[in-house]
Amino acid sequence: MHNDLCPSCGAFLWKPHDDFPEIMLRFVHLHEGRKVREILKFLPCDPSLDEREAKKHGRITPRQEWAIERILEERRTSGNPEGSDGALLADDMGVGKSGQLAEVLIRGGFQRALVVGLPDTHLQLRDRIYAQSDGAILPRLMNGTIAGRFNLAAFLKGEPGVFIAGSHFLVAQDFESRPEYHDGEDGKPDLSRPKWKMDSKTGWPKLKERTTGPDREVYLVDRAEGEIGPAQVRRIVEAGTPDQIGPALLPIQATKSHHLATFRAKLKKHPVDFIGLDECQVIANKHSQARRTLLSMGNAFKLAMSGTWFLNNPDNMHSVTRWVWPGDDPITGQKYVESNHALWKAMYLTSVPVLKEDGNVLYRRDHLGQLAPVMNTTGEKEPGAFVATLPCYIRREADDPIPAPLMLYVDPSPAQAEQIADLKRDLMTWVWSHEGTEEPLVVNMPAELHTRMRQVTIGELALTRPDGSVDFARDGAFAKGAPLRYLLEERWAGQQVGIYTDSKIGAHWMAARLQRAGVDVRVWSGDLSRGAREKLKQAFIRGEFRVLISTIQSFGVGIDGLQKVCDKVAWISDVEGSPALNDQAIRRYLRPGRLMRNGRDEFEHARILMRDSVDVESFQKLIGQAWNMRASMTAATAA
């Protein structure tokens, strides 16, 4: 019974299940100063239990056990020279990728391991590895804090252990941004002649406001001389008149990123034997600095994980899989993944040429200077064919698939209908300005028109911001407000509710409308700091407010715990063309351990769509994209 007691405080480590008291669950204590955190440990797999029963008993499920052992089979050793030294775990959200990562690390006996994940997931990853090792392994976090930089130094010096870091932090150590200058007569940079960031539309330098100093100068380009010089100018400031002199504007100096190869040099001497990459879509762009940094870390067993690993573009498959399997198959002598991207693309994907506005094909020069048509990937030739060629690709769908939403349709208000008709017919509409006058809102590009058509489905458009940017009328039409009130006041009365939109401005506008109606609501968006996000999450979990409006783009991954108190979600708008982001968002509430009412799962989400708008078309398109993405990721990997 010695392992049933905490070695530090002597507390009993078994506790009854909250919903099933007859089941005892095993915990591990993590002591941090005076604080003690209890972390559930997943017990070894019991083959006699099915997936649902295994989860209920706090055990590794049979499917997880199969995946863990299958991944470890790929480790290339003297006893297993045919291993591919890599795996791609593409499980759906909620299947338990972090637990499988921890078990692979522990059972594999890796001595120096690096786990890369989003900052919001670092503590979850640390806790899971600590719990699965029964407190034997406490991963060290590398970040910008004093302790985090101390751990970075230990990692670079070759100390053993498990280290966790974010891709942005690693890139910051591996790349340096340096200011650029024009060359002097001697061919060397002339520090008196800086280069400026240029606006591609105007051909002028990009400017920023000077916040200090008495100067009220604006720096402009003398096109004839090509030099930067000061000039006294007048400009209208936000709340001023044409007679006021605006603050000084300074040109933004151009910079160039230099690869320091920090990890290539250090890890050549002190190599790692394992790299785990959570949310591996961060390297989907083959030219990204994050991918270059990870490629520089040398040979190691690589485990990439993500339920949306190529986002919505099959072209991204190549970047991720080439990082996992850069070498040759020792059996066939062929590359695991074709290294030539163009050749690989021709083998597996279908493409169409991109057309300009005049209908002609768009051409650009390739790396050899030859004109070539710009091609847009449309999908796979045979969905699932590429992933079927990978050495160790594992994809399991969640036991609880996302249920069909409750569909609520609404007609546009007269004001919204008029704006929609104006935009379709005239590429402009009349809106109220912050000065209380009607002003024309003109769209010049098809993409801008589509954006405005999506915005008007949220609320009546306006120009009420002093800077002239598009907003929503404070007391303007909000057609989706009626079905939303029905959900909040009748169908989900008294329950906590999550609301999703893809518009940050729309989120704050809706919050203001609901607050004036007496609803206690807060907004979660990308401009919140990590600390502010955590405080907001904990306040929602404690029930301090009822409704949480979130932008989908900021709410996708690394957020856990909301499912314990909230099982109702309303969609005002979604991220068009990105079923992956929308799925990640809904899984913040539809997760294991979610709220049960009277022993029943009553999760429900509702989509509010506006008739005679782009809403319906966008939703139908999302469904098609989701099916295509799922087909591309599916392979015969079920246990």
The β-bridge partners of 635 are none
| pLDDT for residue 14 is more than 90 | yes
Q: What is the pLDDT of residues 577-588, one digit of tens each?
A: 677 788 888 888
* Domains located in the chain, CATH noted: 181-253 (no CATH), 406-633 (3.40.50.300)
Q: Is 386 helix (H, G, I), strand (E, B) or coil?
A: coil
**What is the reported pLDDT for 229?**
40
The pLDDT-based confidence of 95 (bands split at 50, 70, 90) is: confident
As a whole number, mean pLDDT of residues 410-439 equals: 81
Q: What is the pLDDT of residues 342-394, one digit of tens each?
A: 899 999 999 888 887 777 888 887 767 788 888 888 888 888 899 999 999 99
How many Å apart are CA 632 and CA 624, to the nearest integer?
13
DSSP assignment string, 271-308: --SEEEEESGGGG-STT-HHHHHHHTT-S-EEEEE-TT
- Of the segments 5-19, 176-190, 288-302, 621-635, which one has the largest average pLDDT value? 288-302
How many Å apart are CA 479 and CA 398, to the nearest integer?
35
**What is the reported pLDDT for 583?**
83
**What is the reported pLDDT for 547?**
96
Positive/negative CA dihedral, 234, 239, 240, 246:
negative
| pLDDT for residue 621 is more than 70 | no
Contact 394, 88 (CB under 8 A): yes
Q: What is the pLDDT of residues 443-466, one digit of tens each?
A: 766 667 778 888 888 888 888 766
**What is the reported pLDDT for 632?**
66
**What is the reported pLDDT for 110?**
96
Task: State the chain's mean pLDDT as an integer.
Answer: 84
| pLDDT for residue 92 is more than 90 | no
